Structure 1
Amino acid sequence: MAKARKAIITCAITGAIHTPSMSPYLPVTPEQIIDEAVRAADAGAAILHIHARDPATGRPDQSVEAFGRILPEVRKRCDAVVNITTGGSPFMSVAERVEPARHFQPELASLNMGSFNFGLFPMLGRYKEFKHEWEREHLEGSRNLVFRNSFSEIEEVISLCAPGGTRFEFECYDIGHLYNLAHFVERGLVKPPFFVQSVFGLLGGIGAHYEDVVMMRRTADRLFGTNYAWSVIGAGSSQMRVGTIAAALGANIRVGLEDSLWAGPGRLATSSAEQVKNVRLILDGLGMEAATPEEARAVLGLKGGSAVNF
């Protein structure tokens, strides 16, 4: 009997897009983020993508101190791969965004592969009242927001994090970002296996249509051959639809409240773990299984949890 193919599930716990007024289930305190991360790992996530927030306001916080209140306890309580964001918030500078990954030397760090418009302002039509003034400013400010990730800034993140053995989750929000990654591959600044995370459905990036998903896969295959592992993010209501399409094409999948607050039409997810369980049902229906953290480490060539600085 043929063995079931394994898919790596990444879970992004809180992110920097959604604001506290949008869902009572969005974790903002260190304790909430830790508990949500452990629940997601218990549900089957092999990788935990971590952001930090100000516990009083829920505002994104990219300080080393904020991550220091989260990372050691997550590592203590589960064996999942910890992936620290270098994306932080699109309103932050790259120098600010890279500091936690530089300091803590995780197994994985996210790395955005290009600049693009990052439009969150349509959510103002869905949410009228906010607990904190920064939330409205955060959404409104995205009308004039370019999420800056220049070639020199990408190279800076690589130079600061790679010497500590950190590998990268290359976040590609459009086709051109795959070509940007190929540029760094050609220069020898990053080595295979590459973990390519394609992001679909954010205003300013590629759409979430079936043809968009297939085009991303075809382009990545042409550029990287068998030297990469492909994963997908579907933003908002496209989360499970994109995940299903891509899983059938051989992808790994990322879910979590960073990417979508929903567990179904009109129904808020009560935790990221709920989304992990939902995507496992999809994998089961396709005859696939969730990879363990150790299996994910082997596929992605990671250094192991004992080699991090937290």
Structure 2
Amino acid sequence: MKTRKVILTCAITGSIHTPTMSPYLPLTPEQIAREAIAAAKAGAAILHLHARDPVDGRPSFDPAVFRQFIPQIHAECDAVINITTGGSVAMTLEQRTAAALDISPEMASCNMGSMNFGFFPIADKIKEWKYEWERKHVESSRDAIFRNTFGDIEQLFQRVAVPCGTRFEFECYDVGHLYTLKHFVDRGFVKNPFIQFVLGILGGIGADVENLVFMKSVADKLFGDSYQWSVLGAGRHQMPLATQAAMMGGNVRVGLEDSLHLGNGRIATSNAEQVEQIKNMLAGLGMELATPAEARAMLDLKGKDRLNLM
């Protein structure tokens, strides 16, 4: 029997976690590049990338900061580069799209709806912060709305997907987001979408296996067999939901953006450590990780040589 290939995305740093929360969270361009390359060598086919201010680690949208690590990643591994257009809830759409427009990556994230996006409960667990900006960043999610209107999404297609040839990772945090994606499929904006089911964010659908099964059944109803899918389980749900997704025929996402731990309260010391863990789990289930070349073929990507790194 042919071994099933699973596309593994590794989200290297994100914009939720802060320096106080883990000494292993990559913050500087050098750290992000090192972590991304190591994750790729461990088996990640896709690298989902955010940038951080090199001075204090706060989320950054500056294309110049992205250019301090993406060329090195591009040169030293074959992984697909996926640049966020979600950024952080505090950024404008112009800011969130700046790096993708500048670099023209093979992939970019596309969030499929406006929502409450809360991570403020984390603040209750921390007494002392390394940097002054961190507490405000976390607490502000209590009143923030993560804006992704129909007009915003149209702009992403018109300004990023079409002119850049960039394919989206459609991040769907609830069932309604799948119907929004179907709206754009029906309008001809996208064919054969790559959907990332996001479970466990406060404000989105809960991280339960029943919810994953429901999301998958709705996607099957809306898109038939004309889509690929993956799962992002936030926090402690990362590895259990990734394993469940693989058993259901899906792809998986891990990384310090999504969880700082390996499970059982053990803090992850690197992104590559999480990649190795899920790779071993998949091997035990008789599955293998797709290579970057196989992921490009499965997702119909434009190719590594078509990024704008001049």
TM-score of the superposition, structure 2-length normalised? 0.98
Deviation at 1:99, TM superposition (A): 1.0
Deviation at 1:227, TM superposition (A): 1.1
Q: Which amino acid aligns with 1:196?
A: I
Q: Which residue of 2 aligns with 1:176?
A: 176
Percent identical: 59
Distance 2:99 2:225 in 1: 31
Q: Which residue of 1 aligns with 2:287?
A: 288
Q: Which residue of 1 aligns with 2:262?
A: 263
Distance 1:55 1:105 in 2: 23
Question: Is 1:19 paired with 2:18?
Answer: yes
Per-residue CA distance 1:152-188 (angstroms, 9 max, x = gap): 0011011111221101000001010010000000111
Question: Is 1:130 paired with 2:125?
Answer: no
Q: Which residue of 2 aligns with 1:86?
A: 85
1:9-158 paired onto structure 2 within 5 Å? 9-158=8-157
Distance 2:195 2:279 in 1: 21
Deviation at 1:285, TM superposition (A): 1.6
Distance 2:215 2:221 in 1: 10
Distance 2:125 2:93 in 1: 30
Q: Which amino acid aligns with 1:155?
A: E
1:136-285 paired onto structure 2 within 5 Å? 136-162=135-161, 163-192=163-192, 194-285=193-284
Task: Give 3-state SS (helix, strand or coil) of 2:225's partner.
Answer: coil
Runs of 5+ unmatched residues, structure 2: none
Distance 2:157 2:102 in 1: 13
Per-residue CA distance 1:199-221 (angstroms, 9 max, x = gap): 01010000011110100110111
Aligned residues: 308
Q: Which amino acid aligns with 1:125?
A: D
Distance 2:36 2:220 in 1: 32
Deviation at 1:65, TM superposition (A): 0.7
Contact 2:239 2:263 in 1 (8 A): no
Task: Give 3-state SS (helix, strand or coil) of 1:198's partner.
Answer: strand
Deviation at 1:287, TM superposition (A): 0.9
Task: Give 3-state SS (helix, strand or coil) of 1:114's partner.
Answer: coil
Q: Which amino acid aligns with 2:240?
A: R
Distance 1:90 1:231 in 2: 23
Cα RMSD between the aligned structures? 0.7
Deviation at 1:226, TM superposition (A): 1.2
Distance 1:205 1:228 in 2: 22
Q: Which amino acid aligns with 1:185?
A: V
Per-residue CA distance 1:271-295 (angstroms, 9 max, x = gap): 0100001111111121110000000
Task: Give 3-state SS (helix, strand or coil) of 1:111's partner.
Answer: strand
Distance 2:297 2:17 in 1: 32
Runs of 5+ unmatched residues, structure 1: none
Distance 1:155 1:18 in 2: 29
Contact 2:85 2:100 in 1 (8 A): yes
Distance 1:246 1:187 in 2: 29
Per-residue CA distance 1:246-266 (angstroms, 9 max, x = gap): 111011000000000001222
